[in-house]
């Protein structure tokens, strides 16, 4: 049993296609097929059901492949430890973020990060929270920027800063004259929301009692109130379809300034979200994580010394 064979079965389980798996593993299809057959013979069970049209993972195969992924993850840590003994700011760092944070935070802190660690190449991606959670645990990303609450086994989380919500209105809307608003002021308004896969949608619904219930009881909120991005929501507000709520970082983006919409804060201790960093507790390049933290704090003018990175063991 070799790490190469374990990698072959995990990739095949993911693609469920011998040709695609062989391509991802950079080998010919017969080589991959023979190696998997060899592994199945060694463990004494079949990991896959093979037909002429598709491949399915067997029940015992699911358990073995899950363990194989854990073995590969642990093996990858050996390389990370060796790298850490050299220069932890030299190898590339894969940073993920959820859709409602990445476009607004990356442009602000990445230039600072590149100044602090000019030799550390960055790989940046965006996705939904559940997707980023899975990719983080699999080692496909090193650190993720997301919103709390967030939990995952063997993952460390550090809150970074709180971000207040803002009400977005056309300049001629009656509420646009107010200096600040309360959630109850919006109960009779048509609130435009992101789709159900976005955690920010849930946060807005929680923040505004009776959201959209008084707008039009005959129209489903799921059909006429959703957008795929903050930019889409702003375009819908401009078109007169309703109003919306956005986080503060989205308001500072140049794309929002071009809309000529009005952003009104909530009164007092209004609704907000907490932005946080998450990384595998076993990830040994703590200096790289700390560099990301400091770059984000610098972009927000937050004293990094007030929120130090937790001391975690790579064991």
Place of tokens 């989205």: 250
pLDDT score at 278: 95
If asked whether residues 141 and 232 sit together in one domain, one would say yes
* DSSP of 27-47: S-HHHHHHHHHHHHHHHTS--
The answer to whether 159 touches 297, Cβ cutoff 8 Å, is no
Q: How far apart are CA 161 and CA 301, in angstroms?
A: 11
Among 84, 107, 125, residue at a domain's last position: 84
Place of tokens 């374990």: 6
- pLDDT, one tens digit per residue, over 197-255 is 888 998 998 888 778 776 654 444 444 567 788 999 999 999 999 999 999 999 988 78
Confidence of residue 313 (pLDDT cuts 50, 70, 90): very low
For 96-124, what is the mean pLDDT? 91
- pLDDT, one tens digit per residue, over 122-173 is 999 999 999 999 899 888 899 999 999 998 888 999 999 999 999 999 999 9
The answer to whether 165 touches 271, Cβ cutoff 8 Å, is yes
What CATH number does residue 73 fall under?
1.10.10.10
The whole domain housing 23 covers 3-84
Phi-psi region for residue 314, left (φ > 0), alpha (ψ -120 to 50) or beta? alpha
Give the range among 48-62, 70-84, 109-123, 200-214 with minimum mean pLDDT. Answer: 70-84
Residue 284 has pLDDT above 60, yes or no: yes
What CATH number does residue 94 fall under?
3.40.190.290
Among 84, 114, 133, residue at a domain's last position: 84
Give yes or no for a cis peptide into 149 (omega within 30° of 0): yes
- Work out whether strand 143-147 and strand 272-280 pair parallel, antiparallel, or are unpaired: antiparallel
Number of domains observed in the structure of the chain: 2
If asked whether residues 59 and 95 sit together in one domain, one would say no
If asked whether residues 106 and 170 sit together in one domain, one would say yes
If asked whether residues 192 and 270 sit together in one domain, one would say yes
Q: Nearest 5°: phi and psi at 117?
A: -130, 75
Radius of gyration (C-alpha) of the chain in whole angstroms: 24
Q: What's the burial of 128, exposed, middle or buried (CB within 10 Å: 0-12/13-18/19+)? A: middle
Both tokens of 290, joined, read 């700390």
């Amino acid at each position: 049993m070799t790490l190469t064979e374990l990698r072959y079965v995990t990739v095949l389980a993911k693609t469920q296609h011998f040709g695609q798996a062989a391509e991802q593993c950079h080998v010919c299809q017969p080589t991959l097929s023979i190696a998997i057959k060899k592994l199945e013979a060694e463990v004494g069970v079949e990991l896959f059901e093979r037909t002429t049209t598709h491949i399915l993972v067997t029940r015992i195969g699911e358990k073995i492949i899950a363990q194989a992924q854990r073995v590969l993850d642990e093996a990858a840590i050996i390389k990370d430890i060796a790298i850490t003994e050299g220069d932890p700011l030299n190898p590339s760092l894969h940073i993920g973020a959820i859709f409602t944070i990445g476009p607004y935070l990356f442009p602000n802190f990445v230039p600072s990060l590149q100044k602090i660690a000019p030799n550390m190449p960055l790989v940046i991606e965006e996705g939904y929270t559940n997707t980023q959670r899975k990719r983080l645990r699999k080692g496909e990303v090193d650190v993720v920027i997301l919103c709390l609450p967030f939990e995952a086994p063997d993952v460390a989380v550090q809150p970074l800063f709180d971000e207040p919500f803002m009400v977005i209105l056309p300049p001629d809307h009656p509420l646009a004259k107010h200096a600040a608003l309360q959630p109850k002021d919006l109960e009779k308004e048509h609130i435009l929301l992101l789709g159900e896969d976005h955690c920010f949608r849930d946060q807005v619904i929680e923040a505004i009692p009776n959201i959209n219930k008084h707008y039009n009881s005959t129209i489903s909120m799921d059909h006429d109130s959703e957008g795929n991005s903050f930019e889409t929501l702003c375009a819908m507000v401009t078109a007169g379809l309703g109003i919306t709520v956005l986080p503060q970082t989205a308001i500072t983006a140049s794309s929002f300034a071009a809309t000529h919409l009005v952003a009104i804060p909530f009164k007092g201790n209004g609704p907000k979200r907490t932005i946080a960093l998450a990384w595998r507790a076993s990830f040994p390049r703590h200096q790289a994580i700390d560099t990301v933290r400091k770059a984000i704090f610098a972009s927000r003018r937050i004293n990094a010394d007030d929120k130090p990175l937790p001391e975690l063991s790579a064991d």
